[in-house]
């Protein structure tokens, strides 16, 4: 099986978590989420925030502590259960059937915080499964994990995000851009051309900031790269 095929499967990511190859995970809350949370939420209190491919991100805990309701989706069960154990949170698990494919999946509900995580493929999630569309989406690395330049992955992904976002909602994306050729290995390189191609039909695109990182042998991604932060607003149908 090819590397590009491997990196788009649930098994690939489950193995990464099992083997501890999770260099993308951060122990601290994303600084740009903190900086731009007002733009993400439009200054509204107690909004519903979707975190695709959430892993064990502490961003979810921070958002919940700000008073928001957080729903994540993650294919790796180990990541979900580690999130709860590392943050001293208890949970209940319910087997639910998804609206689109009727497949049973595990739904983890936190007892102490307004956090729910579905253990399933991202594309299995529909608005009927999560109680309606979200006010906000925080995408830190999810797009970068789905090989958006391969086949129709990118467009399929952005269509899914649009279907989950309310018409007055906001979607904030962290993406990577670099000059070297890494094939299909995540995180994907997202050029301006690719971003406009996959988001332009359904979203108004606003650049927030670029964080330029020089080559650093002590970093998991040691090569020079730019982290781009964008805010998307749905276009009117």
**DSSP one-letter string for the chain:** --HHHHTTSHHHHHHHHHHT--TT--SS--HHHHHHHHHHHTT-SS-EEEEET-TT-THHHHHHHTT-EEEEEES-HHHHHHHHHHTT--EEEEEEE-TTT--EEEEEEESSSSEEEEES-GGG--GGGTTS-EEEEEEESHHHHS-TTSTTHHHHHHHHHHHHEEEEEEEEEEEEE-SS--TTPSSPB--HHHHHHHHTTTEEEEEEEEEEE---TTSSS-S-EEEEEEEEEEPP-
- For residue 109, what pLDDT is reported? 98
- For residue 8, what pLDDT is reported? 62
- For residue 17, what pLDDT is reported? 63
- For residue 103, what pLDDT is reported? 81
- For residue 183, what pLDDT is reported? 82
Percentage, residues of the chain above pLDDT 90: 70
Q: Does residue 86 have a pLDDT over 60? A: yes
Identify the residue with better confidence: 218 or 237: 218
Mean pLDDT of 99-117: 92
Where does the pLDDT of residue 234 fall: very low under 50, low under 70, confident under 90, or very high at 90 and above?
Answer: very high
Mean pLDDT of 142-166: 92
Identify the residue with better confidence: 76 or 200: 200
Against a cut of 0.85, is the pTM above it?
yes
Q: Which domains does the chain have, with CATH numbers?
A: 6-21+30-179+187-234 (3.40.50.150)
């Amino acid at each position: 099986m090819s590397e590009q095929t491997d990196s788009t499967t649930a098994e690939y990511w489950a193995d990464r978590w099992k083997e501890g190859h999770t260099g993308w995970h951060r122990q601290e809350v994303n600084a740009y989420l903190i900086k731009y949370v007002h733009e993400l939420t439009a200054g509204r209190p107690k909004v519903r925030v979707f975190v695709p491919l959430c892993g064990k991100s502490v961003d979810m805990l921070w958002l919940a502590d700000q008073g928001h309701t957080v729903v994540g989706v993650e294919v790796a069960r180990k990541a979900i259960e580690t999130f709860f154990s590392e943050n001293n949170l208890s949970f209940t698990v319910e087997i639910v059937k998804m609206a689109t494919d009727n497949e049973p999946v595990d739904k983890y509900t936190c007892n102490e915080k307004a956090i729910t995580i579905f253990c399933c493929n991202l594309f299995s999630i529909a608005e009927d499964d999560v109680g309606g569309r979200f006010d906000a989406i925080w995408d830190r690395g999810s797009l970068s994990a789905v090989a958006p330049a391969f086949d129709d992955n990118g467009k399929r992904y952005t269509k899914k995000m649009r279907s989950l976002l309310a018409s007055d909602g906001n979607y904030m994306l962290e993406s990577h851009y670099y000059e070297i050729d890494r094939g299909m290995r995540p995180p994907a390189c997202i050029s301006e051309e690719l971003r406009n191609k996959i988001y332009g039909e359904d979203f108004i695109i606003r650049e927030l900031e670029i964080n330029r990182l020089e080559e650093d042998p002590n970093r998991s991604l040691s090569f020079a790269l730019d982290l781009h932060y964008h805010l998307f607003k749905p276009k009117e149908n």
